[in-house]
Structure 1
Amino acid sequence: MQQKVCVAGVGMIPFLKPGASESYFAMGATATRLALQDAGVDYPQIQQAYVGYVYGDSTCGQRALYEVGMSGIPVVNVNNNCSTGSSALFLARQAIASGAVDCVLALGFEQMQPGALASQFTDRPSPFDPFDTLANELVGQPEIPLALRYFGGAGLAHMQEYGTRLETFAKIRAKASRHAEHNPMALFRKVVSEDDVMNSPIMWPGVMTRLMACPPTCGAAAAVLCSERHARRHGLSADVQIIAQAMTTDTDVTFGKRDMRELVGFSMARNAATQVYEAAGVGPSDFDVVELHDCFAHNELLSYESLGLCPVGGAEKFVEDGDNTYGGSIVTNPSGGLLSKGHPLGATGLAQCTELVQQLRGKAGPRQVDKAQLALQHNLGLGGACVVTAYQRIN
């Protein structure tokens, strides 16, 4: 019988532009201390730690946590591209649910460089070689940076099949800015209009402007998880629990369907979401708030459909009807999402967790979603891995 898993504490630091942040280990240590303080837990009570980052040498997790304490616990370093933070969260939850341990830390951080994402190991085959091959066949544009080509190509496929307008992606980005205005942790807090987004520099004519892409960002976030029995025994918060979680990787359709939407994980996300809904006994319409992986405005739109928030092909109407914001069917990315909050790869999944825990506690301030009881998290990494998590307020 699996143990119930509580999120006892969360912590994160403001996200900043590359060059403006502290070092990765200082950021990670600060986020850890904030999560421990929020949980009311001393570091020696932590039995294991799972630490996520993408751009760093092996054992960077130890380097960060040794700033907090050197208690001899297992520290597992995690790298799953953009879903790294949620992969660390997945492993931490799994360790508790199995009964192996009772109190675990999940930490994610990233110290990034300016500019588009790029491979750091040019002397060996890239894991993206098969992705690049298919992307070249489907959309070409090899001069466009990797991530922009993938997600822009996926958005273009949706535009071609359903007549989705470029302005719809601009509306998603403008919505993100309105949400981020009230988030002190967000990198970009300036509100931009649909016209501002449309008039920003063109990255791919007819497909994407600069403001439709998330910025490279530095930051850190952490969560303290514990079993319900541990929380009760030690007087820790058990109000927010992870009631279901799934991690999926690519299947044959990623390449076999020859569709850019599949190349960026549409079915991978749908499969994870389906597993979570079945395990939790709920459906997508039951959730009040979602933090989803909007690395590009295009992927936010695709994620509405892959998560079942609207019918396939219905995402543009979902946006036009305002169902993706306050007063609609589900508030998406009240934090401002990756588009406005920023996307320090290893920290993103745990920043999403932090936002949703605050929402379920009723402590999100001006961003608060009214009477939030159920929250959904979606974190995607190409190459590939997708983690979907369902949280519930228990009392």
Structure 2
Amino acid sequence: MSNRVFVVGVGMTKFEKPGAREWDYPDMARESGTKALEDAGIDYTEVEQAYVGYVYGESTAGQRAVYELGLTGIPIVNVNNNCSTGSTALYLATQAVKSGQADCALALGFEKMQSGSLGSTYDDREQPLMRHLLALAELQEFAMPPAPYMFGAAGVEHMERFGTTAEQFAKIAVKNHKHSLNNPYAQFQDEYTLEQILEARQIHGPLTKLQCSPTSDGSGAAIIASEAFVEKHGLAAQAIEIVGQAMVTDMNSTFEDKSAISLVGADMTRKAAEKVYAQAGITADDVDVIELHDCFSTNELLTYEALGLCAEGDGGKLVDADDTTYGGRWVVNPSGGLISKGHPLGATGLAQCAELTWQLRGTADKRQVDGAKVALQHNIGLGGAVVVTAYKPYAR
């Protein structure tokens, strides 16, 4: 399992408000997949396996999506891991190459979503998050819809335990909306003042509407390859190495801690980050640019702490010091993050991969983080799974 693994091609669609564009998921996949193949400079016939992520859709939609790129008979695996679906497809493609099962694999994710808050598809069986919701309802009064309730409750807990303020959470949304101004792929490209963020319609706890990620349509893709493939195709100049990667699911602490913060995945993130830092031989201080799962502004702050950017309880201080934007210690979510770029569930993790690939290649245009050499990705899905990935440019 010592094989080196590289991202050699990435592509994505613009993220759109559901229904804003006349397209279907095969169109999305064709666009992102074709861009990724063109970026890598290879033909689809060289792809040996494909992992295709989506949350809302019929069985084998992954096959239907990828058939837009070609019909070569390769294994195509459908992937669903809630909001971490895209990075789970990336994880599986990486594992296929790392294990030597393939020299070139495709990770692709898409989502065609309904407008409004996320809802359930089936009402004749237990919902996967029911155990989490029941545990949280023992700590804070239940509210609908579930996702903002869970992350809003975690924000409330952080405020009560550490003195974090509503303004500090809101500043994260100000930052990410501002970052999206330079991202042509973002669903929203609007700047807001702190007052506008705070005065927007309250959703739950400290969260207002402008601190919540929207429902979105879109797709992302990445071509994953071995070192032999990189050398054979002369891709060293653009190859970005995956130097560490870990997936972690819920642990006993998720429920035993009696904490809203644990219930929304902070422990999963912390454990995954520790594994990745050890694999890559780095610490948080070595990282230059980060794409993390800001489904809500509260989760971005919680994730600062879980990734080790600061001590537990100090996330608000990091915000006030402007240490997570241009000119600060790290640039977090230069793409605009989920809050402003959008959050088509199956595509999110692959859009993060694309952004960080561009950053490390130095091709992120107005979003470029000067001198970026180490990148970190964090994608989480409740119920639950988190994938953390570290990247560096290829070095022989």
User: Equivalent residue for 1:76?
Assistant: 77
Task: Give the Cα separation in 1 of the matches to 2:100 and 2:5.
Answer: 10
| In structure 2, distance between residues paired with 1:67 and 1:208 | 40
Structure 2 match to 1:171: 171
Name the amino acid aligned to 1:355: E
Partner of 1:13: 13
The residue that corresponds to 1:187 in the other structure is 187
Aligned counterpart, 1:233: 232
CA deviations on 1:303-357 (whole Å, 9 max, x unpaired) are 0000001111110110000001011111000000000000000000000000000
1:45 counterpart residue number: 46
Q: Secondary structure at the match of 2:386?
A: strand
TM-score by length of 1: 0.98
TM-score (norm 2): 0.98
Secondary structure in structure 2 of the residue aligned to 1:220: strand
Q: Is the 8 A contact 2:277 2:283 kept in 1?
A: yes
Q: Which residue of 2 aligns with 1:27?
A: 28
Shift of the alpha carbon at 1:394? Answer: 2.7
State whether residues 207 and 296 of structure 2, in contact with CA within 8 Å, keep that contact through their aligned partners in structure 1: no
Distance of 1:29 and 1:247 partners within structure 2 = 28
In structure 2, the residue matched to 1:386 is 386
Deviations 1:268-307 (A, max 9, x none): 0000000000111100010000000000000000000000
What is the distance in 2 between the residues matched to 1:156 and 1:29? Answer: 42
Whether contact under 8 Å (2:230, 2:239) holds in the other structure is: no
Distance 2:373 2:126 in 1: 46
Contact 2:55 2:345 in 1 (8 A): yes
Work out the CA distance in 2 between the residues paired with 1:313 and 1:136. Answer: 23
SS in structure 1 opposite 2:366?
A: helix
Q: Is the 8 A contact 2:50 2:75 kept in 1?
A: yes
Quote how far apart the aligned CAs of 1:129 are.
1.3
1:123 maps to what in 2?
Answer: 124
Aligned-partner Cα distance in 1 for 2:24–2:134: 36
Query: 1:161 corresponds to which letter in structure 2?
Result: R
Find the residue that maps to 1:140 and give its secondary structure.
Answer: coil
Letter in 1 for 2:41: G
**Per-residue Cα deviation, 1:64-107 (whole angstroms, up to 9, x for no partner):** 11111100000000000000000000000011011111000000
Aligned partner of 1:366 in structure 2 is: 366
d(CA) in 2 for partners of 1:334, 1:292: 10
* Distance in 1 separating the partners of 2:239 and 2:220: 20
Once the two structures are TM-superposed, the CA of residue 203 in structure 1 deviates from its matched residue by 1.4
- Partner residue, 1:269: 269
| Structure 2 contact 169–206 (Cα < 8 Å) conserved | no
Whichever residue aligns with residue 48 of structure 1, its letter is: Q
Aligned partner of 1:309 in structure 2 is: 309
Amino acid at match of 1:120: T
CA distance in 2, matches of 1:210, 1:184: 22
Unaligned runs of 5+ in 2: none
**1:265 is aligned with what amino acid?**
G
Residue type matched to 2:71 in 1? Answer: M
Q: 1:224: which partner in 2? A: 223
* Structure 1 position 36, deviation (Å): 0.2
Contact 1:244 1:279 in 2 (8 A): yes
> What displacement does 1:121 show?
1.1
- The residue aligned with 2:298 is 298
Structural mapping, 1:64-103, within 5 Å: 64-103=65-104
Which deviates more from structure 2 when the two are superposed, residues 298-307 or residues 22-31?
22-31
Displacement after TM superposition at 1:261 (Å): 0.3
**CA apart distance, 1:162:** 0.7
User: 1:51: how far off?
Assistant: 0.2
Is the 1:2–1:99 contact (alpha carbons within 8 Å) kept by the matching residues of 2? no
Query: How far did 1:207 drift?
Result: 2.0
Are the equivalent residues in 2 in contact too, given 1:180–1:334 (CA < 8 A)? yes
Could you tell me which amino acid in structure 1 is paired with residue 114 of structure 2?
A: Q
Paired AA for residue 333 in structure 2: N
Matched, 1:202 2:202: yes
Query: Quick one: which amino acid aligns to residue 323 of structure 1?
Result: D
Alignment coverage as a number of residue pairs: 393
Instruction: Name structure 1 gaps, 5 residues minimum.
Output: none
Sequence identity percentage:
52
Which range moves more in the overlay, 322-331 or 126-135? Answer: 126-135
Alpha-carbon offset, residue 239 of structure 1: 3.1
The residue type equivalent to 1:373 in the other structure is: K
Aligned with 1:112: secondary structure?
coil
Aligned residues: CA RMSD: 0.9
Q: Which amino acid in structure 1 is aligned with residue 17 of structure 2?
A: K
Contact 2:90 2:350 in 1 (8 A): yes
SS in 2 for 1:389: strand
- Cα shift at 1:141: 2.9
Alpha-carbon distance in structure 2 between the residues aligned to 1:219 and 1:20: 11
What's the secondary structure of 1:346's corresponding residue? Answer: coil
SS of 2:220's partner is strand
Q: Distance in 2 between matches of 1:35 and 1:53?
A: 18
**Runs of 4+ off more than 2 Å:** 236-239
